[in-house]
């Protein structure tokens, strides 16, 4: 019995005896109101805490990136960029790092798709294995046999001949000077072979002449020489195929004969012609180019450069337009659908921060587009209950700028810098004991604050009542004295 009495002596929560509760405690309207308010506050806080307990917590930390093997020293770059006004024949892609090292095998991992003026796919472009041959030291004796065109007679001649093949040139162009005698000899040979006056004609346009400059602007001639094919039944939206074959009398006349055969229905009509059957088209349509590729680069500052390059053309840089649309740019392996679901929204948005953005060059002003990209590695670890492996992604921020300078070669430069840090994101749930602790804090805190408030209110109301009673007694005394 003494043991039970000892245990009772440490009771922290002693109670009033039932027969004394009525005498020692008293209910009030104020206390009841505070109790209801405290109950509502408790319920609201408990619901909010329970919601917070169910929601996952995200912790982030930044650590220095380190490479465990030589394989980790490289990073994959995925890109897809459309150029509405840069032909695939001239589009060149080069990758280099800050040490000046070039990626020699880049061309094999880059594909080019020809686009029409509306950006629709025309066909896949295959770069020739070698530049077209030129007839060296060719000479043409006698009068010029090709037809000279300008803005005055162009449209009339266009619809006069079934097929009109036009050489757009500039007198200062080295390659145009080499082609000029070959072109005249080809025009003479074809004129003698096809005596029908309105069947076929070879013509030329001087893009530096005042009376023909607008023609070269209309047909976006920015490489010399450019050879285009015009037909009598062309409409305003017709795509004119351009010639990129061998520049010799034999090759040009054989190519032109193919169009004559088309007009005579001897062969099917087509705007893609491969005269020598070597698998590379001598002429085809397409005024734009979509360039896509996948390459591995060292984890060091570097640059991806796209510009017009040709060993058989001279360019007019003032009219060269490298406006482009970045369809996609990302770093690292492609992510699966489940991986995208794991990534937080702000990280997912940074993976393709440059996607679907357009950059436009000003007309007749050489414009270079610079993109500065800072790449950061993210590692996201989902809660263990998800049973999903951690996801590694590469996000980036980008700043773009245009450089307009006379004499500048219009270029798109993608400068990237892969930062040697890793941002770890880990999602985990709140511990259950922490949730219970918070519940106890809510109940005890609200109960204590409500009790203090009730005590203060009782004391305040008591003081007011005492003042009122003193005032009344003072009035009664004054009345009695009177």
Q: Which residues are catalytic?
A: 173, 176
Residues with Cβ within 8 Å of 256's Cβ and at least 6 positions away in sequence, in order, are 163, 165, 186, 190, 200, 202
Strand order in the sheet with 163-169: 147-148, 200-206, 163-169, 226-231, 242-243, 283-284
In whole angstroms, how far apart are CA 21 and each of 35, 75, 454, 455? 19, 78, 19, 19
According to DSSP, the β-strands at 302-308 and 91-97 are antiparallel
Phi then psi for residue 269, to 5 deg, are: -75, 135
Token couple for 182: 């070959």
Residues with Cβ within 8 Å of 258's Cβ and at least 6 positions away in sequence, in order, are 267, 273, 275
Can you give the three-state secondary structure of 392-420, one letter per residue?
EEEEEEEEEEEEECCCCCCEEEEEEEEEE
Omega before 47 within 30 of 0, i.e. cis: no
Distance CA 66, CA 48 (A): 42
Rg (the chain; Cα; Å): 42
Distance CA 287, CA 125 (A): 12
How many CB atoms within 10 Å of residue 213? 16
Distance CA 315, CA 242 (A): 16
For helices 249-263 and 174-193, the axis angle rounded to 10 degrees is: 50
Task: Burial-class residue 374 by CB neighbours within 10 Å (0-12, 13-18, 19+).
Answer: middle
């Amino acid at each position: 019995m003494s043991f039970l009495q000892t245990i009772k002596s440490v009771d922290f929560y002693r109670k009033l005896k039932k027969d004394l509760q009525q005498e020692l405690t008293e209910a009030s309207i104020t206390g009841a109101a505070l109790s209801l308010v405290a109950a509502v506050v408790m319920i609201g806080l408990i619901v909010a805490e329970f919601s917070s307990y169910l929601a996952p917590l995200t912790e982030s930390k930044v650590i220095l990136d380190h490479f465990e093997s030589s394989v980790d020293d490289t990073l994959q770059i995925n890109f897809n960029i459309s150029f509405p006004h840069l032909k695939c024949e001239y589009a060149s892609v080069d990758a280099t790092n800050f040490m000046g090292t070039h990626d020699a095998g880049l061309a094999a991992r880059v594909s080019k798709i020809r686009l029409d003026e509306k950006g629709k796919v025309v066909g896949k472009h295959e770069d020739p294995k070698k530049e077209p041959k030129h007839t060296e030291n060719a000479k043409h004796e006698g009068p010029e046999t090709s037809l000279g065109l300008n803005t005055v007679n162009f449209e009339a001649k266009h619809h006069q001949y079934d097929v009109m093949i036009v050489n757009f040139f500039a007198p200062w162009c080295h390659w145009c000077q080499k082609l000029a005698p070959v072109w005249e000899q080809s025009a003479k040979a074809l004129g003698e072979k096809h005596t029908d006056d309105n069947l076929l004609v070879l013509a030329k346009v001087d893009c530096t002449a005042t009376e023909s400059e607008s023609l070269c602007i209309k047909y976006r001639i920015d490489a010399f020489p450019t050879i285009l094919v015009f037909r009598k039944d062309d409409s305003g939206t017709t795509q004119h195929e351009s010639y990129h074959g061998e520049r010799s009398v034999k090759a040009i006349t054989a190519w032109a004969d193919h169009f004559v055969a088309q007009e005579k229905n001897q062969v099917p009509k087509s705007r893609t012609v491969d005269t020598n059957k070597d698998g590379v088209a001598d002429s085809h349509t397409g005024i734009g180019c979509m360039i896509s590729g996948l390459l591995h680069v060292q984890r060091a500052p570097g640059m991806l450069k796209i510009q017009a390059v040709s060993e058989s053309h001279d360019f007019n840089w003032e009219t060269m337009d490298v406006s482009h649309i970045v369809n996609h740019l990302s770093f690292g392996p492609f992510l699966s659908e489940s991986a995208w679901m794991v990534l937080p929204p702000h990280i997912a948005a940074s993976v393709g921060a440059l996607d679907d953005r357009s950059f436009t060059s000003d007309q007749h002003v050489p414009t270079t587009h610079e993109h500065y990209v800072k790449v950061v590695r993210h590692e996201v670890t989902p809660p263990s209950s998800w049973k999903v492996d951690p996801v590694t992604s590469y996000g980036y921020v980008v700043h773009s700028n245009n450089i307009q300078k006379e004499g500048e070669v219009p270029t798109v430069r993608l400068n990237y810098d892969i930062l040697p840090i890793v941002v770890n994101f880990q999602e985990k749930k709140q511990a259950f004991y922490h949730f219970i602790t918070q519940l106890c804090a809510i109940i005890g805190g609200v109960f204590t604050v409500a009790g203090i408030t009730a005590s203060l209110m009782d004391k305040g109301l008591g003081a007011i009542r005492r003042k009122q009673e003193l005032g009344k007694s003072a009035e009664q005394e004054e009345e009695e004295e009177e």
